[in-house]
Amino acid sequence: MNTLLLEAHNGVLHITLNRPECRNAMSLEMVNELRAVLAQLDSQVRAVVISGAGGHFCAGADVKDLVSAGDQLQALNRAFGTLLQEVQALAPVVIAVLQGAVLGGGFGLACVSDIAIAEGQAQFGLPETRLGLLPAQIAPFVVKRIGLTHTRRLALTAARFDGVEAGRLGVVHFVEHDAQALAQRVDEVLGQVLQCAPGANARTKALLLASVDEPLEAVLDRGAQWFAEAVRSEEGVEGTQAFVQKRKPSWCK
């Protein structure tokens, strides 16, 4: 990998966006590498932690790529939207660790995470309109994260805001005062995630996402089917037996 650092440990894959010289701006190469890594995840990966090198998460699209894309500009832009779709639909729990610049595409990536943890001093925003551009692939995911009213204000003013405001808006779940507290919170959240059965987590996540767009009747029918399957599954049997026997189930780390 030229743009990513990867570290796997204890069922957790840590992905670090590694272009610190440009605040981890999202190049087409980085998009392609991220998509390749995520496509190869196996069932042993229970959580994916995405962070950025050099004190920044991601400063958005690499403008150099935009300038040189030529006839491929539309395809380049859509490829990032596909990445966001794929991150959102991942079976493992996705945790975004947000420092420094969380702008444009970086903001979009934060909005498709399951759990977002930010430093209070991090800088969020949708700066595209200041450049005469559109947050074309990011906008739908931001709307689903924080609602249309807040997204309209942020997108149409390109306003910057810090991690504290991101917490108030619902972009992030935890706001920490420094890097050490941020790391401690990540460890705490991972500890909680690893207490949950991976298969149950994956299906719960899929059901929650479906509840946003699909008719209620269909979601409830599928939920009933999946619940019955879960009770009879290896995880369900192990979990209920562990409860009765007052022990930890096999998936607990």
Give domain status of residue 250, yes or no: no
Residue ranges making up the domain that contains 221: 198-244
Among 13-17, 67-71, 240-244, the range scoring the smallest mean pLDDT is 67-71
pLDDT, position 63: 82
Give domain status of residue 249, yes or no: no
Exposure string of 111-122, with b = 16+ CB inside 10 Å and e = fewer, is: bbbbbbbbbbeb
Q: What are the φ/ψ torsions at residue 246 (nearest 5 degrees)? A: 55, 50
Which residues lie below 8 Å from residue 65, measured CB to CB, with a gap of 6+?
A: 27, 28, 76
Based on the fold, state whether residues 48 and 127 are members of the same structural domain.
yes
Mean pLDDT within 114-131 = 97
Number of compact structural domains in the chain = 2
Q: Rounded distance, CA 205 to CA 216, Å?
A: 16
pLDDT, position 249: 96
Return the closest-CA partner of residue 116 out of 72, 70, 69, 169: 169
Based on the fold, state whether residues 135 and 215 are members of the same structural domain.
no
Which residues lie below 8 Å from residue 29, measured CB to CB, with a gap of 6+?
A: 2, 3
Q: Rounded distance, CA 189 to CA 139, Å?
A: 27
Distance of alpha carbon 165 from its chain centroid, rounded?
Answer: 19
Q: Report the predicted TM-score, pTM, of the whole model to 2 decimal places.
A: 0.95
pLDDT, position 253: 65
Please report, for the domain that includes residue 62, its CATH number.
Answer: 3.90.226.10
Based on the fold, state whether residues 106 and 83 are members of the same structural domain.
yes
SS3 at position 177: coil
Give domain status of residue 252, yes or no: no
- Residue-averaged pLDDT of the chain: 95
pLDDT digits 0-9 by tens, 63-113: 888 878 778 889 889 999 999 999 999 999 999 999 999 999 999 999 999
Based on the fold, state whether residues 240 and 156 are members of the same structural domain.
no
Based on the fold, state whether residues 26 and 125 are members of the same structural domain.
yes
Based on the fold, state whether residues 186 and 212 are members of the same structural domain.
no
Residues pairing with 16 in the sheet? 5, 51
Give domain status of residue 207, yes or no: yes
DSSP 56-98: -SB-SB-HHHHHH-GGGHHHHHHHHHHHHHHHHH-SSEEEEEE
Based on the fold, state whether residues 168 and 231 are members of the same structural domain.
no
Based on the fold, state whether residues 221 and 142 are members of the same structural domain.
no
Residues pairing with 124 in the sheet? 102, 161
Mean pLDDT within 229-241 = 96
Based on the fold, state whether residues 184 and 206 are members of the same structural domain.
no
Q: What are the φ/ψ torsions at residue 61 (nearest 5 degrees)? A: -70, 150
